[in-house]
Copies of this chain bind each other. A is one copy, B any other.
Amino acid sequence: MNLRIKDVAEAAGVSVTTVSRVLSNNGPVRDTVRQRVLSAIEQLGYRPNAAARRLRSGDTATIGLIVSDVRNPFFTEVSRAVEDAAYQQGLRVILCNTDENPEKEAMYLRLMEEERVTGVIYSPTHDAAQRFKAQAYDFPVVMIDRAAPAGSADAVVLDNRDASARLVEHLVERGYRRIAGLFGNASTTGRERHEGFMDALRRHDLPAQAEFVEPNPESALLHVGAWLAGEPAARPDAIVASNGLLLLGAYRAMRARSTTPLADVALAGFDNDAWTELVSPGVTVIAQPVYEIGKNAMQLLTQRLADPSMSTRTLVLPGELVIRGSTERRAVLAGG
């Protein structure tokens, strides 16, 4: 096995240059010669060495995908969108999970440099996003889910404040008055959703109960459990969770507490994960255009590659409010 381009050249009775030209479909080659080369390649089972190609050409045709965890349905879907677009453009995708761990994050960013990647799709932790300097890298970066401050890199994000506010508006309209919110403490996203939440409540002169927590189901379960166990008068009548993992924990806490879950306290949140539709009653959520986010990220990347001087852009996508049974109109007003 391990053949070189020279072997193909000899077999086809041409120079290596000619073989290279048919391989990269670049440069003039007579059709009969091309056929001869092609069949030599086929016959020998030759495969060009990607590393050699990249070294010489300077083009790696590789994009890096850095997310906190592919198991998060949001990133699962984004990954798929990115891989789809990459496949169509003949790019390969290197998958990196950071677990919101600064060390892993730094290590993978360094890896991207060593790979001389064509570009990176990146979901940074809050801290990393703050520190991020696009000009420190030789490749373009498109951030997803979380934008870097003041256009230091292209980004595709949800209109978090608006989406959060719409969730609150919906709850208020349905008669809920003591609305509590749970927000992720590691991301810019959590902060933005918190802001939209607070603003909307303020507009209605409603009290706010909000907490920033570790973005996992367990911490949500703990906090919501505590809320539900509190004095009935102080207990929230609706709970908002700022991402799919927190929403899951909140749902579990509510289920654990009564045989008729969601009967007395409403629940709503972010991320239209499969289970939110399947449980009964279904859970009202903001659905993010997840596949679109990944697809648009790849488009921004492609455009940036085509014109590096272009000023940075942040694409803001709207969320969709999906109303389900968990926010049924309140039968009897108890509070303000």
Task: Point out the residue from B50, B79, B248, B280 that lies within 8 Å of A95, measured CB to CB.
Answer: B79
Asked whether B80 lies within 8 Å of A71 as measured between CB atoms, the reply is: yes
> For the complex, what is the distance from the CA of A114 to the CA of B49, rounded to whole Å?
5
Asked whether A114 lies within 8 Å of B83 as measured between CB atoms, the reply is: no
Q: Closest CB of chain B to A257's CB: distance in Å? A: 14
Of A31-39, A51-59, A154-162, A300-308, which binds chain B? A51-59
**In the complex, chain B residues whose CB is within 8 Å of the CB of A2:** 138
The 0/1 profile, CB within 8 Å of B marked 1, for residues 104-148 of chain A is: 100000110111100000000000000000000010000000000
> For the complex, what is the distance from the CA of A2 to the CA of B50, rounded to whole Å?
20
A97 within 8 A of partner (CB) = yes
**In the complex, chain B residues whose CB is within 8 Å of the CB of A48:** 114
A94 within 8 A of partner (CB) = yes
**In the complex, chain B residues whose CB is within 8 Å of the CB of A279:** 275, 278-280
**In the complex, chain B residues whose CB is within 8 Å of the CB of A138:** 1-2
> For the complex, what is the distance from the CA of A87 to the CA of B111, rounded to whole Å?
11
A332 within 8 A of partner (CB) = no
**In the complex, chain B residues whose CB is within 8 Å of the CB of A104:** 87
A320 within 8 A of partner (CB) = no
A92 within 8 A of partner (CB) = yes
Task: Point out the residue from B55, B83, B113, B255 that lies within 8 Å of A51, measured CB to CB.
Answer: B55
A192 within 8 A of partner (CB) = no
**In the complex, chain B residues whose CB is within 8 Å of the CB of A50:** 114-116
A219 within 8 A of partner (CB) = no
The 0/1 profile, CB within 8 Å of B marked 1, for residues 70-89 of chain A is: 11000011011001100100
Asked whether A94 lies within 8 Å of B93 as measured between CB atoms, the reply is: yes
Q: Closest CB of chain B to A139's CB: distance in Å? A: 11
A274 within 8 A of partner (CB) = yes
A21 within 8 A of partner (CB) = no
Contact flag A70-B79 (CB < 8 Å), given A50-B115, A94-B93, A97-B84? yes
22 A-B residue pairs with CB within 8 Å? A2-B138, A49-B55, A49-B116, A51-B52, A51-B60, A51-B115, A55-B55, A70-B70, A71-B76, A71-B80, A80-B97, A83-B95, A84-B97, A92-B115, A93-B95, A95-B95, A248-B278, A255-B278, A275-B278, A275-B279, A278-B278, A279-B280
Closest 9 CB pairs of A and B: A275-B275, A51-B54, A47-B113, A51-B55, A95-B95, A50-B114, A275-B278, A50-B115, A51-B51
Residues of A within 8 A of B (CB): 1-2, 47-52, 54-55, 60, 65, 69-71, 76-77, 79-80, 83-84, 87, 92-97, 104, 110-111, 113-116, 138, 248, 251, 255, 273-275, 278-280
